Amino acid sequence: MASSSVDPAFSIALPKAELHAHLSGSISPTTLHEIWLKKRSEGQCLDLEDPLAAIKAGGDGFVDIVSFFPLFDKYIYALCNDLENVKYATEKVLQDFSKDGVRYLELRTTPRACVETGMTKELYVDTVNETFARWNHNHTGQLEAYPILSIDRRMSAEEAIEVVDLAVKYQYHPNQDKGGYVVGVDLGGNPMKGNVSIFTEAMATAKANGLGITIHFAEVPQSSTEEELNTILSWRPDRLGHCIHVPPLIEKVMRQRSTGLEMCLSCNVLSGLTSGGFERHHIKQWAQSDCPIALSTDDVGIFGSPLSNEYSLAAKYLHLSRKQVISLAKQAVQASFAGRKRMMRLLDEFEAAFDQDG
Can 219 be counted among the known catalytic residues? yes
How far is it, in rounded angstroms, from Cα 178 to Cα 170?
8
Query: Which among 18, 106, 162, 219 is annotated as catalytic?
Result: 219
User: Do 273 and 267 contact (CB within 8 A), yes or no?
Assistant: yes
**CB-based contacts of 330, cutoff 8 Å, min separation 6:** 344, 347
User: Measuring CA to CA, how many Å separate 66 from each of 54, 118, 147, 187, 215?
Assistant: 16, 31, 27, 19, 20
Catalytically active residues, by annotation:
219
